[in-house]
Chain A
Amino acid sequence: MIHIVTPANEFRYREEMEQVWRLRHEVFVKEKGWIDLDRPDGREIDRFDTPHAIHFLAIEAGRVIGYSRLLPTTRPHLLSDVMPQLCEGERPSGHDTWEWTRQAVARSHRARGKAVNPVSLALLTGIVEWGMAHGVRQLVLQMPTLYLLHVVQLHFRARPLGLPQAISGEDIIATTAEFDERTLARLRAVRRDAAPVLAPSYTYIAA
């Protein structure tokens, strides 16, 4: 199940969010070597983890096995503040456009041989489910050009925002990725599971 964590419900996910910071440290600092993000406490938290960020957690038996973050493009985000060179024209911004970053899967849950593992697909399905329910139309992505194929294969409509640029040894491209019910159907077909992945929200029941 994919759980969405925002300021409205984070009091119920304190322990899980601690796991998130550690998973992010493990994946981005230790594995990918993004040492700029290193912090002495081993929790990878950056300046974009504000109350405006939306956290997507893949949780299995109380353990966070995957994570993604969405940032509103109406506020500072990576494309606007960290990698503006990837966008040559007008930067997409609006309430229907969110930036997808910090995609991470615990090493124990990465399938071998398959290019895209089930946890990543579940997270992306959760993002699209959430987006469809909240009037979100497209994501902004920064990724190695190679991954564009998967985005297209998943029936997102990808539009490059600039030509690929070398960033720490990899050719990175920024694109928008528009989605609709066809994308969701495709994700569910690829996952071989038509059921929603988002955990039901009990906020209102509790209130």
Chain B
Amino acid sequence: MTRKSLDQTLSFLRSLDRTASADDVARLLVTELADLGVTHVMAGTVPTRGTPSRQQNAHVFLNTFPTDWGRRYLARGYAFKDPTVRRLSTHQGPFAWGETRATCRDDPEGQRVMDEAADFRLRDGITIPLVTLDGEVAGFSVSGEHLGFDPAERPTLQLIATYAFGHLLRLRGSDKAERAKLAPREREALQWAAEGKTDWEIGEVMGISTHGVDFHLRSARSKLGTTNRTQAVAIALRRGLII
């Protein structure tokens, strides 16, 4: 397995920027990491012990686990027994699930969670511990029947997971204004504006009047909550609305 190159990783991060929902993030990760054996991803903050299962859901940002496994995990309070979750509070760097085996020897409950996960074809996994700005402990896991990660690739996986987690937090916290959708003509006009074209030039390439261009750009600015063209271009670029 070759180490993912910087270019590949950067283009992966750019694709992450463009995802608009947790489901999109999950799909992208599973697709991009499929050749390394990843079939499932899971991300969330660690609930404090005793959090009722209904509220535990709020801690899960992303989860593609088989439904039956997810249900059982919640119903049986596995979040508090899972050795990979426990390790989040004690370790900083990424770890493979196999590394928890040693601690499981004296921990039959933990061992049972791992065994049952294996029954759901989640035998192998890597978890990346994270700490949010608020100091909340969080984790990001990729898993499958057998993962093909080289240990040398872990730092890159950590980078991707950290970035993806930040994006997930942004998606959760973003207000409606941040998710403004541009109409196709607004996007096109703004895309040309980003290339440095004048209203007249944009009108020529779009086959509309200068007045029409002004109309679309004005509308895009108002949707993005900005007052000038430069700011509108900057925000649209940042949100991946234009490229």
B48 smallest CB distance to A (angstroms): 13
CB nearest neighbor in A for B238:
A157
> C-beta contact mask, B8-32 vs A, less than 8 Å → 1, else 0?
0110010000000000000000000
With A153-B169, A171-B93, A180-B234 already in contact, the answer to whether A114 and B159 are too (CB < 8 A) is no
Q: How far is the CA of A31 from the CA of B238 in the complex (A)?
A: 38
Q: A89-B6, A146-B162, A153-B166 are in contact. Are A164 and B155 (CB under 8 A)?
A: yes
Verify A113–B135 contact, CB threshold 8 A. Answer: yes
B198 at interface, CB cutoff 8 A: no
Is the contact region of chain A dominated by helix, strand, or loop, or is it mixed? mixed
Q: Does B100 lie at the interface of the complex (its beta carbon under 8 Å from any beta carbon of A)?
A: no
Instruction: Check B92 against A146 for contact (C-beta < 8 Å).
Output: yes
A159 at the interface (CB under 8 A from B): yes
Would you give the shortest CB distance from A138 to chain B, in whole angstroms? Answer: 12
The answer to whether the Cβ of A145 comes within 8 Å of any Cβ in the partner chain is yes
In Å, the complex CA distance between A166 and B13 comes to 21
B13 cross-chain contacts in A, Cβ below 8 A: 159-160
A157 surroundings in chain B (CB, below 8 A): 238
Chain B residues within 8 Å of A190, by CB: 133
Contact residues of A between 150 and 167, Cβ < 8 Å to B: 150-155, 157-160, 162-166
Number of interface residues of B (CB under 8 A): 28
Contacts of B166 in A (CB 8 A): 148-149, 151-153
Q: Are A160 and B169 in contact (CB under 8 A)?
A: no
User: A163 near B130 (CB under 8 angstroms)?
Assistant: no
- Does A70 have its Cβ within 8 Å of any Cβ on chain B? no
Looking across the interface, which residue of chain B has its beta carbon closest to that of A111? B135
CB–CB A150/B92 < 8 A: no
A115 proximal to B (CB < 8 A):
yes
Q: Confirm or deny: B163 has a beta carbon within 8 angstroms of a beta carbon on chain A.
A: yes
In the complex, chain A residues whose CB is within 8 Å of the CB of B162: 145-146, 148-149, 152
Among A89, A152, A182, chain B packs the most CB atoms within 10 A around the CB of: A152
Residues on A with C-beta less than 8 A from B34 are none
Does A116 touch B at the CB level, under 8 Å?
A: yes
Q: Which residues of A contact B191 (CB under 8 A)?
A: none
CB distance from A15 to the nearest CB of B (A): 33
Distance of A75 Cα from B238 Cα, bound (Å): 29
Chain A neighbourhood of B235, CB < 8 A: 182
A10 at the interface (CB under 8 A from B): no
Q: Does chain A have a CB within 8 A of B158? A: yes
Complex A-B: 24 CB contacts under 8 Å = A114-B134, A115-B131, A115-B132, A115-B133, A115-B135, A116-B135, A146-B131, A146-B158, A146-B162, A148-B163, A149-B165, A149-B166, A149-B169, A152-B163, A152-B169, A153-B132, A153-B169, A153-B170, A154-B133, A160-B6, A163-B4, A163-B6, A171-B155, A180-B234
A positions within 8 Å CB-CB of B? 88-89, 113-116, 145-146, 148-155, 157-160, 162-166, 171, 173, 180, 182, 190
